[in-house]
């Protein structure tokens, strides 16, 4: 069976993603890295963790993407007293019928924004695992499938740690990508003010792209058919292997700062995200540059650094860059 994408299919995929990119640019100033991560996550069927200080358009970007796809959107503001049932749902007693009925929580949407997920307690965070991994929730023994497509966009604030619960490594690994946002530059800051002042900011729900959830499922099918050569898979495997043997690959200087390297989910993330990225730019095959483009977003939340690294202000990105420099490109 020939699974190679035809030129017509590549052109159709490019046209759909271009419409989504244009809708994003019409509502969100700058933040191109976030645009790539959100679209790749959507096409690869993965979840995205977003880290930034407040006010950098995380919620706007998520709502814009949901509006551009005409998908359902729910925002959950995480707090320490949030219960798992507040997210996944619960059974409610109906006095008139003397029976219980199941009410699904806000997890039942195409796009779920978990705002400040690190403020939710560990029990509530763990309730997200089944939804993120299995695309379903279980309430009173009943399994309820979540809509398709389904993507969790979780945010966390790195500068305020009081009353927060650090995400466990097992849940961090469930996120396909992690994007770290930076402040806008001077020109973008002025553009933001002009856009809001002129009333051009608009409502993300008013977007008219002609794209619907069915188109996203179609794109996901195309992405699965993007060709990945054995040499590229070998490249991915050697990169992930190097994160687990940094002292051997990088030497004791930088290598000693890594306590645990990336799991096989990192290799799979490079594979699926690389396919989505190639499709976005109109290619039916993955190249090593796609893997390098995804380096930080795939690996930064999967490397566990030592306390010494924190004390010496060593960032995961520095280790990742060194690993890529030390790995031969095919």
**Is the pLDDT score of 151 beyond 80?**
yes
pLDDT tens digits for range 155-180: 988 776 665 677 878 788 889 999 99
pLDDT tens digits for range 123-145: 888 888 778 888 888 887 788 88
R_g over Cα of the chain: 21
Place 278 in a pLDDT band, splitting at 50, 70 and 90. Answer: very high
The residues pairing with 71 across neighbouring beta strands, listed in sequence order, are none
Q: Name the burial class of residue 326, with classes exposed (0-12), middle (13-18) and buried (19+) by CB atoms within 10 angstroms of its CB.
A: middle
| Cis before 149 (ω within 30) | yes
Between CA 188 and CA 210 the distance in angstroms is: 28
Cα angle 89, 164, 114 (rounded to 5 degrees) comes to 40
Task: Give pLDDT, residue 1.
Answer: 40
Task: Give pLDDT, residue 204.
Answer: 58
H or E element that contains 130: helix 122-134
- Residue closest to 77 by CA, chosen among 101, 56, 54: 54
Give the torsion sign (CA, 13, 15, 16, 17): positive
**Chain-centroid distance, C-alpha 235:** 23
Among 163-172, 218-227, 253-262, whose mean pLDDT is lowest?
163-172
Tokens 């379903």 sit on residue: 136
Between CA 40 and CA 45 the distance in angstroms is: 8
Please state, as a whole number, how many other Cβ atoms lie within 10 Å of the Cβ of residue 286. 25
Helix (H, G, I), strand (E, B) or coil at 48: strand
Between CA 47 and CA 330 the distance in angstroms is: 29
| CATH 3.30.420.40 holds for 7-199+210-326 | no
Q: At what angle do helices 58-69 and 7-27 cross, to 10 degrees?
A: 140
**Is the pLDDT score of 92 beyond 90?**
no
**Is the pLDDT score of 308 beyond 50?**
yes
- Residue closest to 315 by CA, chosen among 33, 32, 47, 51: 51
Q: Are 75 and 251 in contact (CB under 8 A)?
A: no
Domain ranges of the chain: 7-199+210-326
């Amino acid at each position: 069976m020939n699974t190679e994408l035809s030129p017509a299919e590549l052109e159709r995929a490019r046209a759909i993603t271009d419409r989504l990119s244009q809708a994003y640019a019409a509502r969100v100033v700058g933040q191109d890295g976030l645009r790539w991560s959100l679209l790749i996550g959507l096409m690869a069927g993965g979840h995205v963790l977003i880290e930034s200080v407040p006010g950098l358009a995380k919620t706007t970007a998520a709502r814009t993407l949901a509006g551009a796809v005409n998908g359902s959107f729910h925002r959950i503001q995480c707090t320490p007293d949030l219960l798992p049932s507040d997210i996944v749902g619960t059974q409610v007693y109906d006095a008139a019928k003397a029976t219980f009925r199941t009410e699904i929580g806000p997890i039942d949407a195409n796009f779920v924004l978990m705002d400040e997920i690190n403020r939710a307690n560990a029990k509530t965070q763990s309730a997200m695992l089944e939804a993120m991994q299995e695309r379903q929730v279980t309430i009173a023994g009943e399994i309820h499938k979540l809509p398709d497509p389904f993507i969790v966009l979780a945010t966390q604030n790195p500068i305020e740690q009081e009353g927060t619960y650090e995400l466990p490594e097992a849940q961090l690994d469930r996120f396909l990508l992690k994007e770290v946002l930076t402040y806008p530059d001077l020109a973008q800051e002025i553009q933001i003010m002009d856009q809001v002042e002129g009333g051009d900011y608009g409502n993300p729900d008013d977007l008219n792209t002609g794209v619907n959830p069915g188109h996203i499922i179609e794109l996901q099918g195309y992405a699965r058919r993007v060709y990945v050569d054995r040499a590229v898979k070998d490249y991915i495997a050697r990169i992930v292997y190097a994160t687990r043997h940094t002292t051997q690959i990088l030497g004791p200087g930088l290598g000693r700062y890594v306590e645990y390297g990336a799991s096989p989910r990192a290799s799979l993330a490079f594979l699926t995200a690389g396919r989505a990225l190639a499709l976005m730019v109109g290619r039916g095959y993955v190249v090593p540059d796609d893997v390098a483009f995804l380096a930080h977003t795939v690996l930064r939340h999967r490397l566990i650094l030592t306390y010494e690294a924190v004390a010496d202000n060593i960032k995961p990105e520095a280790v990742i860059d060194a690993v890529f420099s030390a790995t031969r490109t095919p």
